[in-house]
Each structure stands twice: as structure tokens, then as C-alpha cells.
Amino acid sequence: MNRKDPPKISADSTRKILLIRLRRIGDIIMTTPAVAALKRALPYASLTYIVEEPYRCLVEGNPDIDKIFLIPPRQGALSFLSLIRRIRREKFDTVIDFHGGPRASRIAWLTRAPLKVGYELKHKGFIYNIRVPRSREGAPIHSVENHLNLVRAAGIEVNEPWPRLTLPGARKEETERIDKLWANHRLHGAKVVVLHVGAGNEFRDWGAQNLGALAERLAGMPGVRVVLVGSGQDISRAEEIRKANPPSILSLASELNLIELREVIAKSSLFVGPDSGPMHIAASTATPIVALFGPTLPAHFSPWQARTTLIEKPLDCRPCKQRRCVTEDFRCLQSITVDEVLRACRQYL
């Protein structure tokens, strides 16, 4: 599918590499093993990462990334042209597009980099010197493996042990805040279960009733404390669950930045939640995970190299594009029972 004898990354001549992944939490985190593999193979090359402003904390301070270009989620024509001029001044040797979306592919196309690496995408094949298929028939590819395949195709050897997910370290004030939170709520010595009560969309939402029942039963186990986490959209749900259950349940919904969330999960005994950004944050820690999969498949998005129990239902409608539920009842998640999830949690508690 590629042009004859496409160029490759040269360890001797490659000095500046541009990496593109604009959003979202899990998708950005799953590029970090490929970034680490690049830095391992090319320690003297400068790696620049383009990311949208809301997700800067996921890459800012990553030891494998030398420079960050921050862009707004919505970008006008003048701002976009200014970005392209800035990129061209850097004179990148190589661009690796981990994203492949409309804006990401336009950025890659306009960089003037001699080597452009990306996915085999409809109507975009002309952009990249090297193109890699995102899937193969009968054998799903994990998203992390897809990104590693881009690096391999560019000429970088990636060997075991596979790089792990990497997030920037917490700042001193972030560590101190979480330590203070642990002390104030007397969480030291407890088996803390972090329960993600959000979902991102209705297709991945297990439901407030299920989450509340699970929180209540977990909180009733000896020595267990339940901490509810989520975004600003999840505050009312978290409060509803907290008020209807034992006072030992703590809600931190919308109170943590993403690095603080990672610190909370790292100090805990277990993380429970759907396929989501927080699940991938949990996978960057040593904390075990109970992951609920509905419309998506673990073969593509399971927690990378994490100690995980996966719960899913073998339905013919999975996976789906999460635009319309053909059964109209979201049964892929709703048929998962509280008892099933509780059994999975007990093995870690």
C-alpha cells in the first residue's frame, strides 16, 4: 500500500520528530508507550507533542517529551495558519500522526516534514509516506499496539518488555494535597475502592442505580472505604449516591485534576469503572482494575499491562459505533449485574 521503498527514521540524521494526538484522555495516554519506544531508540532526538489545551497535564512533564504545542479545542483559520507557520519554523524531520482526525491529518500534511507516518485512512492516503492499517480481519489490534506499529513502520525496532503507560509525575503541591485528603478522611489503613460514576456517554453508563447499589455493598465490607470520582457533570450523581449510602462513602467528583486522580488511584486498593479515560489513568498505576465493557471491546481498549478483571457480555451487536442502540436498552452494560461486579471486586479486597 505504501510508495516503493518509503523513507525511514534514521538514528544518525533524525533530530526533530513531531507527534500528533489532539484528544482525549484515554487516547492520549495510550500513545505514551510508542513515545517511550521512540525516546528509547532515539535518545538524542527532540520529541514535540501537539495536544489540545484541556489535556496538557497528560503530557506536560512527561520525561520522554521535550516540547509541547498547545492548541485550543476549536481553532479558527488564522490561529491554524499561525500554528502551521510555527511548525514549519521547527523544520521537523518526521511527523507521526497518532490521531488521523481531520485537523490532525491537515497538520501532518502541511508540516513539510520529509517523512510522514500515519494510518491507512480513506481519502487521506496521499498525506503519509508510510501508512499502517488500524485493523486486520479476524484479529483485533489494541490501540497501544496500533501506535507502536506506526513507530515500527517508521523503522524503529520495538522489543519486549513493552513500554508501559506513562503520565507526568505529580507536583509537590498535588502530592501534599492528596496526602492531606487521605489524613483528613482517615483513609490510611483502609482498603480504598475508587468508583468512577461517570461514563462519557449513555452507551457506557452503567447507571446510577447499579453504581449506588455497588457502592453500598462495597462500603459494607470490613475495612473498605469507597471514593466516588467523576467530572463536573457527575457531581449530582455522586452526591445522590453518597447521601443514600453509609457516611463512610466519600465523593471527590470534579475535585481532582487528572494527575491528582492518578495519585488517588495509586494509593487505593482497587479501581472500578467503565471503559473510559479514568480507567486508562488507573492502568498507569499498579492498582488492580475491574473494568466494565459495553459497546467497546477489550481487544481494542483494555487497560494496558494492568492487573485487570474484565466484565462484558457476548452480544452480537458489540462493538457498536455508539450512535444508536439497536436493542434500545443498552443491554451490553445494563445486563451486567451488581453481583457480578461485586464478585470481581472481592478477589482484590
What global pTM score does this model have? 0.94
One-character DSSP codes across 11-38 = TTT--EEEEE----HHHHHTTHHHHHHH
For residue 30, pLDDT over 60 is answered with yes
Q: Rounded to whole angstroms, how far apart are CA atoms 107 and 186?
A: 49
User: How many other C-beta atoms lie within 10 A of the C-beta of residue 147?
Assistant: 24
**Same domain, residue pair 190 and 72:** no
- Residue 7 belongs to some domain of the structure: no
83 in Cβ contact with 103 (< 8 Å): no
Burial 165-185 (b: 16+ CB within 10 A, else e): bbbbebeeebeebbeebbeee
For residue 5, pLDDT over 70 is answered with no
Order the strands of the 94-97 sheet from edge to edge.
67-71, 46-52, 16-20, 94-97, 115-119, 130-132
pLDDT in tens, 134-180: 877 668 899 999 999 999 999 998 887 788 999 999 999 999 999 99
**Same domain, residue pair 237 and 178:** yes
Residues forming a β-bridge with 16: 46
Mean pLDDT, rounded, for 296-320:
95
43 in Cβ contact with 157 (< 8 Å): no
Confidence class of residue 120 from pLDDT cuts 50, 70 and 90? very high
**pLDDT above 90: percentage of residues in the chain:** 86
- Residue 11 belongs to some domain of the structure: no
**Same domain, residue pair 144 and 182:** no
- Residue 230 belongs to some domain of the structure: yes
From 116-130, 163-177, 221-235, the region with the lowest mean pLDDT = 116-130
Nine cell digits for residue 257? 485534576
Q: Rounded to whole angstroms, how far apart are CA atoms 223 and 275?
A: 27
Structural domain of 73: 16-153
**Same domain, residue pair 120 and 253:** no
**CA 194 to chain centroid:** 17
**Same domain, residue pair 39 and 67:** yes
Domain count, the chain: 2
- Residue 10 belongs to some domain of the structure: no
**Same domain, residue pair 29 and 63:** yes
Which residue did the predictor score with more confidence, 328 or 1?
Answer: 328
For residue 32, pLDDT over 60 is answered with yes
Q: Rounded to whole angstroms, how far apart are CA atoms 290 and 344?
A: 7
Mean pLDDT, rounded, for 16-25:
97
**Same domain, residue pair 205 and 264:** yes
Task: Count CA atoms within 13 Å of residue 176 on its CB side.
Answer: 3
Element of type H or E holding 88: helix 77-90
For the domain that residue 23 is a member of, what is the CATH number?
Answer: 3.40.50.2000
- The residue among 153, 188, 208 that closes a domain is 153
pLDDT attached to residue 4: 52
For residue 1, pLDDT over 80 is answered with no
- Residue 167 belongs to some domain of the structure: no
Q: Rounded to whole angstroms, how far apart are CA atoms 129 and 115?
A: 6
- Residue 26 belongs to some domain of the structure: yes
- Residue 77 belongs to some domain of the structure: yes
Nine cell digits for residue 267? 494509593
pLDDT attached to residue 122: 86
**Same domain, residue pair 197 and 253:** yes
User: How many other C-beta atoms lie within 10 A of the C-beta of residue 25?
Assistant: 19
